[in-house]
Amino acid sequence: MALINVTNASFSYGSGDIFREISFSASPGELFCLLGPNGCGKTTLLDCMLGSLKLKAGDIRLDGTSIASMRPGELARQVAYVPQKHDRTFPYTVRDIVKMGRAAYIGLFGSPSRSDEEAADEALETVGIAHLRQRPYTQISGGESQLVMIARALAQATPIIIMDEPTAHLDFRHELVIMETVARLVREKGISIIMATHFPNHAFYFQNNGVATHVALLHEGSFLAAGAPDDILNEQNMERLYGVRTKLLTCDGYGAQTIKQIIPLGTV
Amino acid sequence: MYGAVVLAPLVCIMLSLCIGRFPLSFGDITRVLWSKAFAGGCIVPDSHMSIIWDIRLPRAILGALVGACLAVSGAAFQGLFRNPLVSSGILGVSSGAGFGAALGILIFNTPAAAYPFAFFFGTVAVFCSLLIGRVYNTTPAIMLVLGGVIVSSVFASLLSFAKYVADPYDQLPAIVFWLMGSLASARYRDIMIAGSPMLIGIAGLLAVRWQINVLSMGDKEAHALGLNTTRAKAIVILCATFATAGAVCVSGIIGWVGLVIPHIGRMLVGNDNKILLPVSMALGACFLVLVDDLGRVMTGVEIPLGILTALVGGPFFVYLLKKTKGGGW
């Protein structure tokens, strides 16, 4: 059964729908990639799933319960969030930041207990940045800081994590570090991840690495197409979605797997 | 750590009992406190008793309370507004209270009327800021800050007007003196009256101090982390307003403490508000008690607190900044 069900969702900030009549679902251990040009409403859709914006029509259900009826604390035990760009303010230590992932389990007048601290340390280990735990998070690199955000989401111990362009502004290596971490979380921990991204090749990367991947192309407020990367990510759809001419390449990687990549050729 | 937080202000209060124009030794102090507690106050000279018990002790206690309130609400607001330049007066408490005090002095012709008016208008100013900040359905931090700036400037103008129409021989000096801040008139009655909002404010802020960490991640992230942001913000603003208004109405306007003491705290113990808030509170209490002592004995006449806080604190802040290299701050 699907873990998260979005049915006929519509949203507008006033006049003119940002998106309308969108439906999709994601199951445990599945990665859902949301693709679309800048300003197509990806972030707005994610904000609705996080409960920070309210749908104009339609419904988002987690395990059958509508998120409109859930309190922030309840929702945060189901869905965690990795922001695209985190505004750093005070130089909290990395561990302090990850501990904040436990807020949903701590009352309004409480503070983290021993078990919350252990959960934070475990999340830091899982993501592989335990050595950074005492560093001020304003002094680490962009890639490391994104790993901190993922660790915080893990500390939240949710079945679903929503990521908004988690690799934006990262260098060649760190982009891959994040992708590998995300793939590992889905495969090994069975977490469902809903991810907005600008790069069609990210979807192929996950598919190439044995992650159950779904893709949806958000275009002018509705889904142009949705399904497996193989069926959806082709030259015609890329031209319709981005206005870009592309070439789909297939080659043999190491072992028996086939690697697919989309190469941009030029704008239309 | 928490032991030091309680102990340090107590030590400063004890110390300030010994300091003053009338010289008293530590032995005199202990005898007075001992006799007050166990012997009905009959084994020490009356002059000692009244200087320590009726003048210096209430003044030191009030100073500690006021310093603690200003520092702790400053620290809380800096976290809430995610801005290190914010102080306890950001939502207009101080300017509202300033105008209120002036109005009280104008109407009733006595500085005693300043207390209730200052408290009332300080609170009113914050509610005005909140109303302005709610122009949109949500209350983003930047709109609240903007609301505070607008309300502060309006009340500053009203205060100028009050000064303009005040009687220049009688009322105007009273207003100006009140605005400079002083603990000189401190009595137990003041502690009783203004103490309750101050203590309620402090207790509330301490209770939600870890959640201020989460709030400082910004509304969207704090919500995604599971915090009821509206409720948490309301508690912080309400408690900080109570604490600051309670402090300002008995002490007048004392700047600097609510802005810089939290930063001194950050240099010493880091940014986690769980530790920072109690530490700021203790630092604020110690700082104000000691500065008040200085103001009492430095010259023949008392120097108003509002003047001394920045004069003493500024160089101290720079010294700490150099010494700790800011600690990543």
Q: For B187-192, what is the mean pLDDT? A: 87
Which pLDDT value is given to residue B157?
96
pLDDT at A203: 94
Per-residue pLDDT, B328 = 52
From B228, B266, B272, residue closest to A96, measured CB to CB: B272
β-sheet bridge partners, residue A225: A217
Q: Return the closest-CA partner of residue B247 out of B40, B26, B62, B100.
A: B62
Task: Write out pLDDT tens, residues B127-167.
Answer: 999 888 876 555 577 788 889 999 999 999 999 999 999 99
According to the model, what pLDDT value does residue B310 have?
84
CB environment B25-51: b (16+ within 10 A), e (fewer): eeebbebbbebeeeeeeeebeeebbeb
Identify whether A16 is part of a domain.
yes
A65 & A184 share domain: yes
| Residue from B85, B221, B277, B324 to probe the interface with A (highest A Cβ count within 10 Å) | B221
The secondary structure of A181-202 as a DSSP string is HHHHHHHHH--EEEEEES-HHH
pLDDT given at position B110: 81
Asked whether the predicted pLDDT for residue B41 surpasses 70, the reply is: no
Q: Is the pLDDT of residue B292 over 80?
A: yes
In a shared domain, residues A55 and A186: yes
Residue A211's pLDDT is 92
Does residue A9 form part of some domain?
yes
How far apart CA B22 and CA A46 sit, in angstroms, is 69
* Cα angle value A46/A199/A150 (rounded, 5°): 50
Q: How far is A91 from chain B (nearest CA, A)?
A: 6
Once rounded to an integer, what is the mean pLDDT over residues A94-112?
95
Q: Does A15 or A67 have the greater pLDDT score?
A: A67
Has residue A242 been placed in a domain? no
pLDDT band at B193 (very low <50, low <70, confident <90, very high): confident
Selected residue with higher pLDDT from B83 and A160? A160
- What are B94-126's pLDDT values in tens digits? 999 999 999 999 999 887 888 899 999 999 999
Chain A residue closest in CA terms to B231: A108
Does the beta-carbon distance from A106 to B235 stay under 8 Å? no
Q: Identify whether residues A134 and A166 lie together within a single domain.
A: no
Provide the pLDDT confidence category of residue A132 given band limits of 50, 70 and 90.
very high
Q: Percentage of chain B with pLDDT > 90? A: 53
Fold of B2-328: ABC transporter involved in vitamin B12 uptake, BtuC (1.10.3470)
Q: pLDDT band for A242, please (50, 70, 90 cuts).
A: very high
Give yes or no for B300 touching A (CB within 8 A): no
ipTM of the complex: 0.92
Same domain, yes or no: A209 and A177:
yes
Considering the domain architecture, whether residues A164 and A152 belong to the same structural domain is answered as no
Query: Quick one: what percent of chain A has pLDDT higher than 70?
Result: 99
Q: How confident is the model at residue B293 (pLDDT cuts 50, 70, 90)?
A: very high
Q: Is 80 exceeded by the pLDDT of residue B42?
A: no
The pLDDT-based confidence of B182 (bands split at 50, 70, 90) is: confident
Same domain, A14 and A24: yes
Please give the residue range of the domain that contains residue A102.
86-157
Residue A25 confidence class, pLDDT cut points 50, 70, 90:
very high
Q: Per the structure block, which two tokens stand in for B125?
A: 């100013």
Q: Identify whether A265 is part of a domain.
A: no
In this predicted structure, which of A88-97, A144-153, B28-37 has the lowest mean pLDDT? B28-37
Is A151 an 8 Å CB contact of chain B?
Answer: no
Top-confidence residue, B45 or B175: B175
pLDDT at B329 over 60: no
Q: Is A106 exposed, middle or buried (0-12, 13-18, 19+ CB in 10 A)?
A: buried
Here the CATH number for the domain that contains residue A168 is 3.40.50.300
- Give the pLDDT score at B177: 86
Q: How many domains does chain A have?
A: 2
Residue A257 has a pLDDT of 75
Do A28 and A151 share a domain, yes or no? no
Q: Where are the domains of chain B?
A: 2-328
- Same domain (yes/no): A20, A53: yes
Task: Kindly determine whether residue A89 and residue B82, on different chains, have CB atoms separated by under 8 Å.
Answer: yes
Give the pLDDT of residue B24. Answer: 84
Do both A66 and A111 map to the same domain? no
What pLDDT sits at residue B307?
A: 87
State the smallest CA–CA distance between residue B287 and chain A in angstroms.
24
Residues A174-199, mean pLDDT to the nearest whole number = 94
Nearest CA in chain A to B235: A108
Mean confidence (pLDDT) of chain B: 89
Please check whether residue A56 lies inside any domain of the structure. yes
Mutate to test the interface with B, among A54, A89, A148, A154 (most CBs of B within 10 A): A89
The predicted-structure confidence for B220-255, as pLDDT tens digits, reads as follows 999 999 999 989 999 999 999 999 999 998 898 898
* Per-residue pLDDT tens over the stretch A66-98: 999 999 999 999 999 999 878 888 999 999 999
pLDDT value for B30 = 84
**What is the pLDDT confidence band of residue B38, given thresholds at 50, 70 and 90?**
confident
Q: Please check the confidence at residue B291 and state whether its pLDDT lies above 70.
A: yes
Digit-coded pLDDT (tens) for A150-170: 999 999 999 999 999 999 889
Mean of the pLDDT values across residues B58-77?
Answer: 96
Contact A49, A205 (CB under 8 A): no
Across the beta sheet with A79-82, what order do the strands follow? A79-82, A160-164, A192-197, A31-35, A213-219, A222-227
